[in-house]
């Protein structure tokens, strides 16, 4: 069994465990030449952020449906849709500039971003500081 990292320079945060090294940046597990992966939503960077942040998500090779990536405020009100529709398999990065759908600046505070596809929903928390 081998673990494959996505990005990074191979320094810091890695741990050695027997015949393999691993990191919190693990993207896919490779077993007997087959990549086993699923949907993934990564923590935004930077966090907290001002004026913008990057959000990375992964779509597995066998996915053919649509996805939606949205930002919600702490009360659950939708703030902005960052991605919608049929996206190709692979890793994607989108950026949120701290504005709502109308292009107005959002208030400082806690926000949630949610990746939805079919019955799957993944979410993470981020902090916007003005």
pLDDT tens-place string over residues 74-110: 999 999 999 999 998 888 999 999 999 999 999 999 9
CATH architecture of the domain with range 40-128? Sandwich (2.60)
Q: Is the pTM of this model over 0.85?
A: no
Give φ, ψ of 114 to 5 degrees.
-130, 130
- Domain definitions of the chain by residue range: 2-36, 40-128
Mean pLDDT of the chain: 78
Please compute the mean of the pLDDT values over residues 46-70 and round it to a whole number: 93
């Amino acid at each position: 069994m081998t673990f494959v990292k996505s990005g990074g320079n191979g320094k810091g945060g890695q741990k050695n465990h027997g015949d393999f090294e691993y990191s919190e940046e693990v993207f896919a597990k490779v077993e007997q030449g087959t990549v086993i992966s699923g949907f993934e939503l990564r923590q935004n960077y930077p966090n907290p952020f001002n004026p913008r942040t990057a959000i990375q998500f992964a779509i597995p090779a066998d996915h053919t449906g649509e996805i939606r990536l949205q930002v919600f405020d702490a009360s659950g009100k939708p703030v902005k849709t960052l991605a919608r529709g049929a996206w190709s398999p692979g890793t994607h990065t989108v950026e949120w500039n701290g504005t709502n759908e109308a292009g107005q600046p959002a208030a400082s505070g806690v926000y949630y971003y949610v990746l939805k596809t079919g019955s799957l929903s993944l979410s993470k928390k981020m902090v916007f500081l003005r």
